A and B are shown apart, each in its own frame.
Chain A
Amino acid sequence: MLGSAKPSPVPEPARADMESLLLKSVSKQEETYLDQFRQGQKELAGWGHPWLDQVRREAMARFSGLGFPTTHREEWKYTNVAPLARIPFRPAGFVLNGLTQEKLSRFLLSDPGSSCLVFVNGHWCPGFSSLEELPQGVYAGSLADILENNPTRVEEHLARYAAFQEHAFVALNTAFLNDGAFIEISPGLVLDKPIHLLFISTVSDTATVTHPRNLILAGPSTQATIFESYVSLEDGVYMTNAVTEVVVGENAVITHCKLQEESRQAFHIATLQVQQARNSTFASHSISLGGGLVRNEINAVLGGEGIHCELNGLYAVNGSQHVDNHTLVDHAQPHCTSHELYKGILDDKASGVFNGSIVVRQDAQKTDAIQRNKNLLLSKDALINTKPQLDILADDVRCTHGATVGQVDQEAVFYLRSRGIDEEAARRVLIHGFAREIIERIKVEALVTLLEERLSAHLSTYHKTRERV
């Protein structure tokens, strides 16, 4: 490790940007964050490194310029973030609020050899983390640590993939980027146990915001599974605004799994930005069960030949939850395949959005892209907006997409009942089975076990008896 670098003076142009920014009138909602930035930027890890300061300042300026998106913007047409924008969230501090290892255990993988990085309100908590089992050749730790002590290690990659120019939340995250996980896997290393990144919110009485930032660098020919989970100790109003950048090296096989189980009053906005190199395989499994207002974005850039990208998603929401999944697969090179399956279960007055874009660039011949979105509506008030977007500029490709919206299959209900299973249980079995199709694509047993358990617990909260559609 290098010693702590001395803070270098802020370059003049950035200072000028800042000044003009501060003079510019921004709306009150955005001003809260500007104030926080003005007051708190020196507290952010690695402050004083010119490149880092500049990235943060540019991002802050961009956020101020963009402001929170409104539903007039096509990308946000069905997700109204006005309630979030109205709340003056404060930065979340490191508060345990009675959190113990024991209380944490229900969120952890049962596999004894797995590693876990725990973040409490966005702050790395080494005491609860377990990294003893990590093999040689893999670094996993706090990003803030790296920014403080060895920022050049991440300079080449950090904030180079997740573009903030057109995205207010990514810009906001980048401006406040501080802590999160940094994982670096040396070339050729195969990890047989998953690495778990656990983000837990310990709710305090004021509305707080965290901006977790993760950077995962998987070297060539590596193999690993990363599991991100977002949970809360108690119910409460808070916002998680997360960005994860994953760089998948040539010929690497990387699985990313995310479980979003935030408080039902919480806002969860997240972007997963994936950069894939030649012959690599990346699989994402995104499971969204919690949160009040949720937006998951996944952008995968297939930047070499022979890449395979798999995006699987499951969202199960009820009550008045809203969950929005935006995915973008960018086929930039020939001979790549992408397979996408998102499934949704919506009950009560819950609403959902699936917006899946596939871009096939002019050179990306022999692309094979499949996209599917299937939805199960359990009540007449549940709503789903599903929108596939294909933008194909090459001529020798195969791209298919399809979306379905339906109810529980009555014939299947009858089949189960005729075998002695009562109607309510039959519906439960079928709904669970619908969801399981996503879970069973995950190859890591400890993960499947945990997700099955959380899914069962979640689905058991769905209305039991009432008129069905």
Chain B
Amino acid sequence: MLEIKNLHARADNKDILRGIDLKVNAGEVHAIMGPNGSGKSTLAQVLAGRDVYKVTAGEITYQGRNLFELSPEERAHQGIFMAFQYPVEIPGVSNVYFLRAALNSIRRARGLAELDAMDFMAVAREKAKAFGLDESLLTRSVNQGFSGGEKKRNEVFQMAVLEPTLAILDETDSGLDIDALKIVADGVNALRSPDRAIILVTHYQRLLNYIIPDYVHILINGKIVKVGKKDLALELEQRGYAWVGEAVASA
């Protein structure tokens, strides 16, 4: 589904990604772990099409297409979704208005009929309930005045409504209490299917107790330095990132 080859990216004249190789097949869950500043979020944002990051080398193919030829909205139309590490507040635009506009843009691009306000509300209510999102948050301005946990749950709620093919969660677990973490994990697990793929960008192993990844990648200083199964995350938790760094240096 997704193939990244030798990806280099920079921002503010600083190299951040220094040759990433990653292959994600349909049905797989990949965890990308790494210390602060390793480039995890940059990788997620490059996949979503954020233009403040300049790709200087490498290629990304998604479902056989060159991803760089697609605008951020076209990527969303093709099924890519990124849950933001820091969801943006949008005053004056209600959560339901925003999400219906998003869903209908995607449906239009796929040649499907748009949902009217009534039909959409029914879907939104059901999903909001499933993610323990207070219904009053639906009519409030997008993320405005939401708590940190509410913002993260709102991202997962959007993901559930938009039903992406490739979901990228950028530190969605950071700062969540255990109950909120379980809700996020349930949302991701519910999305798992043989024709979808999920990339979890995370700093902590804890999330992986609830979402069992097929692969764990360790990203340090803009490069994937180690790939393993879920046990790698546990080992990392016990021994710390310094251990990986040393292991790589001595290799």
Contacts and interface: CB of A to CB of B under 8 A. Distances in A.
B96 to A, nearest CB: 13
A12 B61 CA distance: 93
A418 B72 contact: yes
A433 interface: yes
Nearest to B86: A411
Contacts of A423: 71, 73
A421 B102 contact: yes
A411 B84 CA distance: 11
Contact of A412 (B50, B71, B90, B106): B90
B32 interface: no
A430 B90 contact: yes
30 contacts: A412-B90, A414-B48, A415-B84, A415-B87, A415-B90, A416-B98, A416-B102, A417-B49, A417-B72, A417-B73, A417-B76, A418-B48, A418-B50, A418-B76, A418-B81, A418-B82, A419-B98, A419-B99, A419-B102, A419-B105, A420-B76, A420-B109, A421-B101, A421-B102, A422-B105, A423-B73, A425-B101, A430-B93, A434-B91, A436-B92
Nearest to A439: B92
B174 interface: no
A430 B105 CA distance: 16
Contacts of A440: 92
B158 interface: yes
A420 B73 contact: yes
A421 B91 contact: no
A429 B92 CA distance: 9
B88 A411 contact: yes
A419 B72 CA distance: 8
B141 interface: yes
Contacts of A432: 92-93
A419 B92 contact: no
A218 interface: no
A155 interface: no
A237 interface: no
Given A415-B84, A419-B105, A420-B73, 7 more contacts: A416-B98, A417-B73, A419-B158, A433-B90, A433-B92, A434-B91, A436-B91
Most B-side CB within 10 Å, residue of A412, A417, A418, A421:
A418
A133 interface: no
A413 to B, nearest CB: 9
B172 to A, nearest CB: 14
B77 interface: yes
A437 B141 CA distance: 10
Interface in A417-459: 417-423, 425, 429-430, 432-437, 440
Interface of B: 48-51, 71-73, 75-77, 81-82, 84, 87-88, 90-93, 98-99, 101-103, 105-106, 109, 141, 158, 162
Contacts of A411: 88
Given A414-B50, A414-B72, A415-B84, A420 B93 contact: no
A440 to B, nearest CB: 7
A147 to B, nearest CB: 43
Most A-side CB within 10 Å, residue of B71, B72, B101:
B72
B52 to A, nearest CB: 8
A445 to B, nearest CB: 14
Contacts of B48: 414, 418
A433 B77 CA distance: 24
A429 B142 CA distance: 12
A436 B101 contact: no
A433 B98 CA distance: 10
B90 A419 contact: no
A422 B73 contact: yes
Interface of A: 409, 411-412, 414-423, 425, 429-430, 432-437, 440
Most B-side CB within 10 Å, residue of A409, A419, A436, A437:
A419
A162 to B, nearest CB: 33
B92 A420 contact: no
Contacts of A416: 90, 98, 102
Nearest to B87: A415
Contacts of A434: 91-92
B73 A433 contact: no
Contacts of A419: 76, 81, 98-99, 102, 105, 158, 162
Contacts of A430: 90, 93
A456 B90 CA distance: 18
A410 to B, nearest CB: 8
A417 B82 CA distance: 11
Given A411-B88, A417-B49, A440-B92, A429 B101 contact: yes
Nearest to A430: B90
A432 B92 CA distance: 7
A420 B162 contact: yes
A52 B63 CA distance: 81
A74 B83 CA distance: 51
Closest 7 interchain pairs by CB? A433-B92, A436-B92, A420-B76, A419-B102, A433-B93, A417-B72, A415-B88
A433 B73 CA distance: 20
Nearest to A414: B50
Given A417-B72, A417-B76, A419-B98, A425 B105 contact: yes
A414 B44 CA distance: 13
Most B-side CB within 10 Å, residue of A416, A429, A440:
A416
A440 B91 CA distance: 11
Most A-side CB within 10 Å, residue of B51, B73, B141, B162:
B73
A415 B86 CA distance: 10
Given A418-B82, A419-B76, A437 B102 contact: no
Given A411-B88, A412-B88, A429 B93 contact: yes
B72 to A, nearest CB: 4
A38 B162 CA distance: 71
Nearest to A431: B92
Nearest to A438: B92
Nearest to B84: A415
